[in-house]
Amino acid sequence: MGTPGRAVSWKTEAGDTVLLAPSALFREKSQVVIYYEVRGVTTGAGYRHEIAVLRPGRQTRDQRPLVALSFEEVAASPVIRSRRVVRLDQLKRGSYIVEVRVSGPEGQQQVRRRLIHIIGN
């Protein structure tokens, strides 16, 4: 995760340049670029991606996301590489959890969460 102009660039083994935030602090009204890889997928199979911003301290599956996006994609290779932009402009200052969930064709899931803090400009 990173914000343009406020992150360190890192090159992946595939040659992609991704943004890495040096901390969990993000400015109000910013956009966050999320990059993730899913390895060991089945080429040609469909996968569902869900990205959500949630309030911390609650059961993540039981609460309604404050920000959410989802999409489906067919794996073109054994590694899915995804880059998505999430807008934080509707969120107030405070702490939030960013969750990335990828579900496979057999119902298996991989979930990663990261705590972030939105601060004033």
Q: What is the pLDDT along the chain (121 residues), one digit of tens a residue?
A: 998 888 889 898 888 888 898 899 999 998 999 999 999 999 999 999 999 999 988 665 667 899 999 999 999 999 999 999 999 888 999 999 999 999 999 999 999 999 999 998 7
Each domain of the chain, given as residue ranges in start order, spans 8-119
What is the dihedral sign for C-alpha 31, 22, 100, 58?
Answer: negative
Could you give the maximum distance between any two Cα atoms of the chain, in Å? 44
Report the CATH number of the 8-119 domain.
Answer: 2.60.40.2550
Q: For residue 21, give both structure tokens.
A: 């935030």
d(CA 67, CA 3) in angstroms, rounded, equals 17
Question: pTM of the prediction?
Answer: 0.87
Q: Alpha helix (H) ranges present in 1-121?
A: none
